[in-house]
Amino acid sequence: MDPSPQEAGRTAPAERLAIELATAPASYLEGALDNPWFGPDHVLVLLKNVAASGGLIQRISRNASWIKPYEVKAAIVLHLKTPRVTAMNLVPFLWWRDLARVPLKRAAERILTVRLQELALGEQVSLARVASRGLVSLLRRQNNPMVLRALLQNPHLVEEDALAIASSPSTSGSVLQALAEDRRFALRPAVTRAIAQNPETPAPIALRIIQHMSVQGLTDLLRAPHLPNLVRVAVTRLLEARQGAT
């Protein structure tokens, strides 16, 4: 008589266990947790099985030796069936790359906010490209041009962020130029006006922007208190030319 799936999981040799865990039924998985050969490598295979339940994952997380490897902790947190409490207990152990993609966005963002200054520049740049909304507002305040240029590639960046970057006196000319050439924001009046009046904006970029502004937009720009003199003169002449043509 063949053993039940649960008994088969409990008694399978290590090699067979590694093969069968990926597609075995839930009862086999339950038995496998009582198998003396079961270890961290088997956990990674089991988590790929659609039959793996939240309760099963919770049992696994209670075994310190099984979840000791980093890969197991990350796989458990990233698993869609992992109970929230279980995942929350393991989130602090994750590296930034995995934190950036966990379902528990708020918890991950709190940890990344604390760790941000500890990240190497290259890591900050990589994070800026994929950061969630909660981190974009933090990253946009970074002064490093490489981080800000990477942030412009982030699909979660919205007009509010672009306007904050364009208005900051610490934003470099290279970043302002990249922002002015970004298709998402090149036609947003508030953003282009902020770029044009920023003293760090390269003159050719500012002069190109004002050519596409309306008379009202140019008039509003003249009221900007820190408008660079070159831009002010160009705006004044452009207004005179347009008004004279009417």
Gap between the Cα atoms of 198 and 178, Å rounded: 14
pLDDT at 186: 87
Residue 114 dihedral angles phi and psi, to the nearest 5°? -70, -40
Q: What residue ranges do the domains of the chain occupy?
A: 1-94, 179-246
Q: Quote the radius of gyration of the chain (alpha carbons, Å).
A: 28
Continuous H helices in the chain: 5-11, 14-20, 26-32, 40-46, 54-61, 70-78, 84-90, 96-99, 105-115, 121-130, 133-139, 145-151, 159-167, 173-180, 189-197, 203-210, 215-222, 229-244
Gap between the Cα atoms of 246 and 241, Å rounded: 9
Do 44 and 75 meet the contact criterion of CB atoms below 8 Å apart?
Answer: yes
Q: What is the mean pLDDT of each run of 10 residues along the chain (246 residues)?
A: 85 92 95 95 95 96 96 95 94 90 84 89 93 89 92 94 94 95 91 95 94 90 89 91 73
Q: What is the pTM of this model?
A: 0.74
Do 22 and 48 meet the contact criterion of CB atoms below 8 Å apart?
Answer: yes
pLDDT at 1: 59
Q: Which two tokens stand for residue 189?
A: 């009046």
Q: What is the pLDDT of residues 133-155, one digit of tens each?
A: 888 988 998 889 999 999 999 99
**CB atoms near residue 3 (< 10 Å):** 12
pLDDT at 86: 94
Q: Which two tokens stand for residue 188?
A: 């947003």
pLDDT at 2: 67
pLDDT at 54: 95
**CB atoms near residue 106 (< 10 Å):** 9
